[in-house]
Amino acid sequence: MRRSVVSIPSNIAEGAGRSTRRDYARFLDIALGSAHELDYQLQLARDLGYTDPDRYDELAKELVEVRSMAAGLKASILADGDST
């Protein structure tokens, strides 16, 4: 879970340093993949009793917000003209 959590902003930061919008969008896709991975890991932790349902709900809501922001950023980058 820690690796997934760190991977999300790390890929966003790496993408921001790339020279094209297409590259940036690709790293946002990778960040979104890590967010989906974290979503599964949170569900598994809840199902195995490592976290209580209330804490899971709180974290899942935050993760939905993070995924929404990353998807919105990707859409904005791709909509800002050509893919360079």
| Entry field: residues in the chain | 84
The CATH number of the domain holding residue 42 is 1.20.1440.60
Assess if residue 20 is contained within a domain.
yes
Assess if residue 69 is contained within a domain.
yes
Assess if residue 84 is contained within a domain.
no
- Whether the predicted pLDDT of 81 surpasses 70: no
CA angle 62, 30, 47 (to 5 degrees): 45
Q: What is the pLDDT of residues 46-61, one digit of tens each?
A: 999 999 999 999 999 9
Range of the domain at 30: 2-79
pLDDT for position 82:
58
**Tally of structural domains, the chain:** 1
- Measured in degrees and rounded to the nearest 5, phi and psi for residue 45 equal -60, -40
Assess if residue 12 is contained within a domain.
yes
CB-CB contact of 54 with 9 (8 Å): no
